[in-house]
Amino acid sequence: MEKMLEVNLKTNTKTETTSKSRVKLKKIVSYAAFVGPALLFFIVIQIIPFIMGVYYSFTSWNGVSSVVEWVGFDNYKRIFTSDERFFNSFMFTTKFMFTAVAISNLIGFTLALILNAALKTKNILRTVFFLPNVIGGLLLGFIWQFIFVRGFAAVGDLTNIAFFQQAWLGDADTAFWGLVIVFAWQISGYMMIIYIAALQGVDYSLIEAAKIDGANAFTTLTKVIIPLILPAFTICFFLTISMAFKIFDLNLSLTGGGPFNSTQSVAINIYQEAFTNNNYGLGTAKSILFFLIVAIVTTIQVMYTKKKEVEA
């Protein structure tokens, strides 16, 4: 009898183990079926090219020849010692990033506050403000190039207003602000959607309580609403910082880096170095260095804003 019980216990244990292993196998297969293709494409399209890029950054190669010469850190030394154009493009990109991020988020948040109210046309207006984000950067740049060159000139001739009579894309200062205007016009609608989603998650009873306690609109905004939607600011700042740093197609189509490379972004500088000057090794070294800078800046931003979220 005892032997039969031992046999039954062993059989049940084996059955349970087999069923658990089958469940685990099914989970592994299901995960592999859903995640596997995406992971494979990510490795092939992102990871492998990145590793190859790191390798080529230590070489002298024109991107075409089969001869690849190992030069070590010479490309990086050249960037830091004698490549003044890269330094200028980095300074312009940094200046553009700070300006564009501040303006884009300010406009996006303001629009979100307005369109979160009980307006009859809010859905239509949300669509209208979001539409520029759907237009591609190259097409958008050419459209605004026509507006700055032809449209503003025509308005200036009719009204004699100095604002429209400026050579918007022919002067370094106005070309910079032209890029900021177009970038903010394109991105603000996207930021607006994120801020609206955050505002809709705010408990309205907290706002009512603040009003009962005598808080005015500004105090309610700064002391109640903004602390509650800080995660949205974290996301929006991260997106706009990375987008502004990596600006390429809009810059290429609107100013082409001109006049006299005064509005040349880092992305355009890297592109010209690799594919115009046929110096693929140096261009790749610049891209790796640029990647590290963007990664460090965005990481610091996320850590800082996340800390503010906890404090709030």
How confident is the model over 166-197, as pLDDT tens digits?
888 888 889 999 999 999 999 999 999 999 99
Is residue 67 included in any domain, yes or no? no
Please state, rounded to an integer, the average pLDDT across all residues of the chain: 86
- Model confidence at 14, pLDDT cuts 50, 70, 90, reads low
- How far is Cα 95 from Cα 92, in angstroms, rounded to an integer? 5
On the question of pLDDT at 220 being above 50, the answer is yes
Closest to 88 in 3D by CA, of 268, 240, 241, 242: 268
Residue 142 lies in a domain: yes
Q: How confident is the model at residue 135 (pLDDT cuts 50, 70, 90)?
A: confident
Residues 141 and 45 in one domain: no
Residues 240 and 187 in one domain: yes
Same domain membership, residue 157 and residue 249:
yes
For 230-252, what is the mean pLDDT? Answer: 92
- Same-domain pairing of 191 and 101: yes
Residue 34 placed within a domain? yes
221 pLDDT band, cuts 50/70/90, is: confident
pLDDT band at residue 5 using 50, 70 and 90 as cut-offs = very low
**pLDDT greater than 60 at residue 202:** yes
Which domain range does residue 33 map to? 2-56
Q: What is residue 19's predicted lDDT score, i.e. its pLDDT?
A: 65
Q: How many domains does the chain have?
A: 2
Q: How far apart are CA 123 and CA 37, in angstroms?
A: 37
pTM of the model: 0.85
- 12, 116: one domain: no
Q: Reply yes or no on whether the pLDDT at 16 is more than 80.
A: no
Residues 286 and 270 sit within 8 Å (Cβ to Cβ): yes
- In which element (H, E) is residue 59 found? strand 59-60
